[in-house]
Amino acid sequence: MRAVGGANADGTGAPLASLEAKWVWQPGETLVRTLLFIAAAFAIIATFAIVFALLLDTVIFFGRVSPLDFYTGTKWSPVIDGLYGVLPLIAGTLLIAGGAVVIGIPLGLSAAIFLREYAPARVREILKPVLEVLAGIPSIVFGFFALLLVSPTLKAWFGADYFNATNAIIVIGIMVIPIVSSLSEDALTAVPTDLRDGAFALGATRFEAMGRVVIPAAFSGIMASFLLAFSRAVGETMVVLIAAGENVNLTFDVLGPMSTLAGDIARKATGDLPVGSDLYRSLFAVGFTLFVITLLINLTSDILRHRFREAYD
């Protein structure tokens, strides 16, 4: 749509008071707007399609297996004993993801602070591409790294099993460093320079200005990076599939094998499952549970971001 106006006789180009604006329909603009709307709506449509696909078999599965038994049962043995207690998989998922972010968050935030506040331009030009390359390495490569380097080291130092949860914790912790670093650096960069200059003018050192002014001002963005990293760790599949082992018993021994929701789905999906069986539909129930966990994490991230967001003119 395009407005057409007139001009005064004095040539100033001011619109005539007596002339009403006329709108001309432009097919090209309408087509572009329609295509952009479809592109924007595609992610929403795909999300609803995924939820529908998960719910369809999940509802049927919960018609045969009690949801209470599914979420409170402490034994996951669908093939041998017909028991569908998903609690060991949830515990393994949260334990491995929690351990990973304990490693990745401090390192990622430290890298972001160093790159934004302390690193010379030449050092920044070298370190940032390295972090970006780290973010682009396929997860299966990290899995083999855990299997060939981390696992023998843990076995030699601590007597751990060759396949153990600590393998996945360490490697996934390394994987989430670029997420925390990149998003935290963006949040720190968004803080106005006037706040830093004001802190320096009051006699604060660079460390004091960072700890008392800049980080609190960027807190919402930093917290969002933490929760996004945790969500990424919860959904990691290949590393736990390769390096964490297959133990589906409820355990908190990180030096022993452990399984997660995503890892068990990948492991069972590669086998021969009769379509329509309880074991087949249990994968959809596990996938739906994983979807709900990541959804809650993302909602928490949005709430915290809006709750602690600082607005600057």
196 — pLDDT class (breaks 50, 70, 90): confident
pLDDT at residue 171, rounded to an integer: 94
pLDDT at residue 4, rounded to an integer: 47
Top-tier CATH class for 74-308 = mainly alpha
Query: Hey, is 310 helix, strand or coil?
Result: coil
Is residue 71 packed enough to be buried (19+ CB in 10 Å), middle (13-18) or exposed (0-12)?
A: middle
pLDDT at residue 296, rounded to an integer: 92
Identity of the amino acid at 251: T
312 — pLDDT class (breaks 50, 70, 90): low
Of 68-82, 139-153, 297-311, highest mean pLDDT: 139-153
Q: What is the pLDDT of residues 43-64, one digit of tens each?
A: 889 888 988 988 999 999 999 9
Rounded distance between C-alpha atoms, residue 181 and residue 116, angstroms: 10
Decide if pLDDT at 207 tops 90.
Answer: no
Ordered by start, the domain boundaries in the chain are 2-7+19-64, 74-308
Decide if pLDDT at 163 tops 60.
Answer: yes
Percent of the chain with pLDDT over 70: 89
Q: Among 10-24, 27-41, 124-138, 281-295, which stretch is predicted with the lowest mean pLDDT?
A: 10-24
Taking the mean position of all CA atoms in its chain, how far away is CA 158?
Answer: 31
24 — pLDDT class (breaks 50, 70, 90): low
Looking up tokens 């719910």 gives 55
pLDDT at residue 291, rounded to an integer: 92
pLDDT at residue 103, rounded to an integer: 94
Decide if pLDDT at 195 tops 50.
Answer: yes
Q: Which helix (H) or strand (E) holds 83?
A: strand 83-84
Decide if pLDDT at 21 tops 70.
Answer: no
Of 44, 70, 91, residue with least CA distance to 288: 70
- Quick one: average pLDDT of 249-259? 88
**What is the overall mean pLDDT for the chain?**
84
Decide if pLDDT at 118 tops 90.
Answer: no
Q: What is the pTM of this model?
A: 0.83
